[in-house]
Amino acid sequence: MSISLQDQLLGAGLVDKKKANTISKQKKKQKNVDRRSKDENISEAQQLAQKTRDDKLAKDRELNQQRKAEADRKAIAAQIIQLINLNKVGKRGDVDFNFSDGKSIKKINVSQKISDEVSRGRLCIVRLGESYEVVPKPVADKIRERDEDTVVVYNQSSTLQSVDAGAEVGADDDHYAQFEIPDDLMW
C-alpha cells in the first residue's frame, strides 16, 4: 500500500502532527467552499460562452418564428386559391361589370344573371393573381376570414336589412314609382 505524502513527511520529521491536521482541515474547508460557490467562480470565458449560446438560441427562436409565419402565409394563400378554384362561377357573358379594385376601375364580362346576383350580394368578385373570379357569398366569407384584401366586390344583400329599413325602402319605392326608367339604360 502506498503511503500518503503527509504520512511520509510526518515519518521524516519534517512536519509535526498538529500542523498536518491543520493543513488537512484547511483543504477540506476550501473544497467545501469551492463546491458551494461553484456558480460564483465562473470565469469570464465561461460567461462569454454562455452569453453567446443564449444569443444564438434567441436568434434561432426568432428565425424559426419567421419561418413559421412565412409557412402560415403560404398555407393561407394555398387555401384561398383552392377555395376560389373549386367554387368559381362561370363568368363568361356579354355584359360588362365594372368594379373598383383599390384606386383603379376594372371590368369583367359576365352574363346578365351573374351581374344581377353580384349586385344583390349573392355572388362576390375575388382576386386570383392578376385575374378576377366570381364566387358565391359563403365562399367569399371564408376567404375574407383568411385575407380581406382578396375579396374585391362584397355587396351586402338586401335580405339582411332590418324591418325598419325595409319600411324605408318601401316608402322610397313608392316615391320613385312615378318616374319611368328607360329600357335602354345600362349602368
Q: What is the pLDDT of residues 121-134, one digit of tens each?
A: 899 999 988 889 99
101 and 108 in contact (C-beta within 8 Å)? Answer: no
Distances 101 to 83, 91, 138, 153 between C-alpha atoms, Å: 20, 18, 21, 8
| Distances from the Cα of 84 to the Cα of 2, 29, 100, angstroms | 87, 77, 19
CA-CA distance, 45 to 62, in Å (whole number)?
26
44-48, long-range: CB < 8 A, 24+ apart:
none
pTM beyond 0.75: the answer is: no
Q: What distance in Å separates the CA atoms of residue 111 and residue 85, rounded to the nearest whole number?
A: 19
Q: How confident is the model at residue 64 (pLDDT cuts 50, 70, 90)?
A: very high
